[in-house]
Amino acid sequence: MSRENRSEPQPILSVLDAVTIMVGIVVGIGIFKTPSLVASNVESNSAFIALWAFGGFVTLIGALCYAELAAAHPHAGGEYHFLSRAYGRPVAMLFGWARGSVIQTGAIAAVAFVLGDYASQLQPLGRHGTAIYASLAIVLLTGLNVVGTLQSKTLQIAVTVVEVGAIAAIILFGLFAGAEPPMSQPEAAAPSQTAALGMAMIFVLLTYGGWNEAAYLSGELRDAPRKIARVLVIGTLVITALYVFANLALLQILGLDGLRRSEAVAADMMRQVAGEEGALLVSVAIVAAAFSTLNATIFTGARVYYAMARDLTLLPRVAEWDARGRTPANGLILQAIVALLLVLLGSATRDGFQAMVDYTAPVFWAFLLLVGVALFILRWREPDRVLPFRVPLYPLTPILFCLTCAYMLHASLAYTGKGTLVGVAVVAIGVPILFFQRRSPDPALPDHRPRQLRPAPAAD
């Protein structure tokens, strides 16, 4: 294989680039869909806002844990690399299969469905318009990412600026437009049980989901051991501020009862304060948000195909890093094929977005729990490793993270639909790939298997 094909990921991303990609992944379609669902499961305005603030706190705990792992073990394989070091290649490879067939591709398909829904409102394409838009978006953005990381990064920065600007406009209109607060109405029969708050938290953390994707940027971030923690913390604080203030704005204009009744909270809010033109503006912003999330998710997703292929005798060309575009080009193409298949399957259901959420949620939380436990394992196994960043209040912080993941795993199994069983079954189908792992490392490839360290360098 040529030297060019054996090219390694290059550190070309700045802190600003990485924060922008992280914010673009997280601040996507969730904030335009879930506030009404959260409002339906709480009894008061204060509880509604408190849940969004608490979601940011939980996300920050996870980000701090990932910051230690990514700073000590920067790698384009992200979580795959952490799991490989902690548990061995079989667990990492099963995660790679799960991410490539369920977690990441399911997330790509879910975001593409939302993009298709709102694009169809702006320009209908008939009965299958949503699936057509979703498929075209996946193909277009995959092509852009294959062309090169710099081109994808430039688009991501531009779209994220538009997206965050639109959310900022919602915040300003909602908090400072001078609209009369909605009149008090008799309380609807809002659930008051602990289970209802648990359901609300599921929707909140779904909206915060995607922050962990920053780990996949550590192999391409300049001075990653020192800067990846900064990326995760700054990104989390920006996201939390946007979400808390956006929900305050929505609450100010629509009230808790109005949020419960709304099917499109941002459009309904802007319609009240700025008329139909404002509602149209929000619809365009939602398309931009979905576009931003989809591009960033495609960008980070293919990195795990690249990392896993290096441990397999199957699909050797997926283990190539394209030096010209500075991307895992073949991994991107394979990822797009799987995502398009999921769009096809989802289009046969009543709600493609909900089907993809059911399909991905339990598998996602199960492996996130394993990553949390990996932090303890690596600290124990590698006591002499110099850690560029240490998670504060160890071991309390990672314990809280693991408990959160365990609860979310339980909740996603208890409250999601039949798609859950399909996702778990697909992961089980991937077990035979373990028979195709390399018996010994390819000398032309970096060996990132778990190993005992000699008194260690700061990064792999």
Listed by start position, the domains of the chain span 15-436
Q: Which residues pair with 437 in a beta bridge?
A: 312
Give me the percent of the chain exceeding a pLDDT of 70: 77
pLDDT of residue 179: 56
pLDDT of residue 446: 41
Buried b (16+ CB within 10 A) or exposed e, 289-319: bbbbbbbbbbbbbbbbbbbbbbbbeeeeebb
- Which tokens go with 110? 């879910």
For residue range 228-275, what is the model confidence (pLDDT) as tens digits? 888 889 999 999 999 999 899 888 888 888 888 876 777 778 777 777
pLDDT of residue 367: 93
For residue range 354-396, what is the model confidence (pLDDT) as tens digits? 788 888 888 989 999 999 999 999 999 988 888 888 999 999 9
Task: Report how far apart, in Å, the C-alpha atoms of 110 and of each of 68, 113, 334, 456 are.
Answer: 30, 5, 18, 41
Q: Are 47 and 190 in contact (CB under 8 A)?
A: no
For residue range 171-194, what is the model confidence (pLDDT) as tens digits? 887 777 655 555 544 444 444 455
pLDDT for residue 284 is more than 90: no
Q: Which CATH superfamily is domain 15-436 in?
A: Amino acid/polyamine transporter I (1.20.1740.10)
